[in-house]
Chain A
Amino acid sequence: MTHRDYSLLGPDARRAVESGLAAAEWYHTDIPRKEMKALMQRADQPAIRDTVILYGCMIAFAGIGIALWPSWWSVPFWLAYGVLYGSASDSRWHECGHGTAFRTPWMNTVVYHIASFMIIRNPVTWRWSHARHHTDTIIVGRDPEIAVMRPPALLRLGLAFFGILDTWNGLGRMLLNASGRLHPEEATYIPESEASKVVLVARVWVAIYAATLTLALAMQSILPLMVIGLPRMCGAWHHVMTGLLQHGGLADNVIDHRLNSRTVYMNPISRFIYWNMNYHIEHHMFPMVPYHRLPDLHARIKDDLPAPSPSIAAAYAEMIPVLIRQLRNEDVFLTRALPEGARPYRADLHALPAE
């Protein structure tokens, strides 16, 4: 059994570079240029519509929550607000970070910064972190965004549904950056020229949280924290529920996204919150395609991909037994069959799956 070291500074990181797994050329389904160009086209309208709905709902839910405060009748509105704050912000951070949500660059930038604040991810740091995630998806020692490591830390994953560790770590990193320093791992993927931007954003955020805390103390109430901060925890469950499915239980150290990513059919509300990232193989294979065209991309290439999980529940039913087995054997993972006619899994640089 192979023991994995997920540190970006450890032996697996060195091995990935030496073996050619780092910054490798990945498998892509063939799509003629004209079709690909059409799929990549940007538009403002879908994201403007979704953003108006999102922020409109957040203002309405928070407004009703404040109006009903401190009655228990306010709870459902805070829970709904929390999901939009603590989970929809994850997908907005993601899509606007890619710059694909809107055609107009400043719109991506504005929503990206708002979402980064809500999800407590430094917008500069995490842009670089996510670039690395796309270069070296689930390559041990290279990918800083592996959510389900082996063996899986099930307690930690459980706490993630309440945003406890993410919030703690996010605030801790914010304070570190605000002091003018980067974490040593951050320094492996953030260029020196960007470091001052990391620090500036962290200091602005500290000021916002300080003002919120001051207001809470002045009011002798947690109400200001119900609007800013706490929803990051009470609303995290949806983005964790969907996010763990992206790669959980699948292969690592491969260079074919069909082996290490999962596409899951989801209900329309989850797809709105998640901005279609349930089409996750498609997103990784072609990150230029905006979220609103991913269903079209899926229809175009699904015959070259393993069958999607038919629902969130089905995907968990598939993933959980594998995670449990990984507690005893880190090398276990799930391999899905490809449809007849699909090109075989790319097996360069790694052994083909044993299971």
Chain B
Amino acid sequence: MADWIDACAADDIDEEDVIRFDHGGRTFAIYRSPEDAYYCTDGLCTHEQVHLADGLVMDHVIECPKHNGQFDYRTGEAKRAPVCVNLATYPVRVEGGRVMVQV
């Protein structure tokens, strides 16, 4: 079972936005949805190695900044070409104002 890692403060992420989180030589993206829920996915687009944290969050979709491919960040599902491969997602919980991710 992977460890729970303290990634950031809950208010480090604006509503309907994303930030980058690097840990253990890997990179992740942590999202805050319009409903104030938090999610975590792999940080790089599955199409080409581009950081999703530089992209745009619209509702429950993250759009890659390079080629406009889209994923549902809640499930990791690839939603729009040129992305075809789903993103890995990771469990998230918020404790005492901190965002914890299990990666």
Contact = CB atoms under 8 A, between A and B. Distances in A.
Interface of A: 23, 36-37, 40-42, 98-100, 103, 105, 127-128, 131, 134-135, 191, 193-194, 286-288
A36 B63 CA distance: 14
A286 B50 CA distance: 13
Given A41-B56, A99-B68, A286-B65, 16 more contacts: A23-B49, A37-B14, A37-B17, A40-B56, A42-B56, A99-B63, A103-B58, A128-B81, A131-B67, A135-B67, A191-B84, A194-B84, A287-B66, A288-B55, A288-B63, A288-B68
A122 B67 CA distance: 18
Nearest to B57: A37
B80 A287 contact: no
B91 interface: no
13 contacts: A23-B48, A36-B54, A100-B68, A103-B58, A127-B81, A128-B81, A128-B82, A131-B81, A135-B66, A193-B84, A286-B65, A288-B55, A288-B56
B33 interface: no
A291 to B, nearest CB: 13
Interface string B58-93: 100001011110100000000011101000000000
Contacts of B49: 23
Given A23-B49, A40-B56, A287-B67, A127 B17 contact: no
Contacts of B81: 127-128, 131, 194
A134 B14 CA distance: 29
Where chain B touches its partner, the secondary structure class is loop
A312 B17 CA distance: 39
Contacts of A193: 84
Q: Which 10 A-B pairs have the closest CB atoms?
A: A131-B82, A40-B56, A131-B67, A99-B68, A98-B68, A288-B65, A127-B81, A288-B56, A191-B84, A23-B48
Contacts of A105: 80
B79 to A, nearest CB: 9
Size category of the binding interface on chain B: 10 to 19
Contacts of B63: 99, 288
A287 B65 contact: yes
Interface in B34-66: 47-49, 54-56, 58, 63, 65-66
Contacts of B48: 23, 135
Contacts of B17: 37
A135 B69 CA distance: 13
Nearest to B55: A288
Nearest to A191: B84
A134 B80 contact: no
A102 B81 CA distance: 16
Contact of A99 (B14, B65, B70, B84): B70
A64 to B, nearest CB: 37
Contact of B68 (A23, A194, A287): A287
A103 B54 CA distance: 18
B3 to A, nearest CB: 28
A286 B68 CA distance: 11
Contacts of B70: 99
Residue in B48, B58, B80, B81 whose Cβ sees the most chain A Cβ within 10 Å: B81
Nearest to B83: A131
A288 B52 CA distance: 12
A280 B88 CA distance: 34
Contacts of A40: 56
A164 B10 CA distance: 58
B82 to A, nearest CB: 4
A223 to B, nearest CB: 37
A37 B56 contact: yes
Contacts of A191: 84
A287 B68 CA distance: 8
A194 B82 CA distance: 10
Contact of A134 (B54, B56, B58, B67): B67
Interface string B11-36: 00010010000000000000000000
A19 to B, nearest CB: 17
